[in-house]
Amino acid sequence: MLPIYTITTIPQDFPLKDSRCLGWLESCHAAFDEVRNNSGDMNEDGHYRYVVIEQVTEGIYTFPREEHWFEWSEDKANDGVTSPGYIILEKKPNRFNNVVCFSMG
């Protein structure tokens, strides 16, 4: 079974009960494009500070094989133009270190 790539938004103030899995795509590239484009207004006017893309496979209590983290920035550079958007983070924010599988709960 091929993996899927879930996209989950996490609020500014971090109550995980308010995080939302917005959907899934069949390729990591497509998931990155959706986040970079803030498709469907994922940020919801500043409410969802973080986005995580997780690669998951079929199964019960499956753990993500990959995580890609993004944070909202009002000063995202895009082709020399500064505008708001999600920027990729080098690593998972420390506040989430003991949390896994955001998309599946």
CB 41 within 8 A of CB 91: no
In this predicted structure, what is the pLDDT of residue 76? 67
- Taking Cα atoms as reference points, which of 16, 24, 18 lies closest to residue 44? 18
Helix (H, G, I), strand (E, B) or coil at 33: helix
What does each C-alpha distance from 28 to 46, 56, 61, 68 come to in angstroms? 24, 11, 21, 9
Scanning the structure block, which residue is given the tokens 């500064």? 82
Task: Give 10-residue mean pLDDT values along the chain (105 residues).
Answer: 92 78 95 94 91 92 90 75 84 87 80
Q: Where are the domains of the chain?
A: 4-96
What pLDDT score was predicted for residue 56? 93
pLDDT at 99: 82
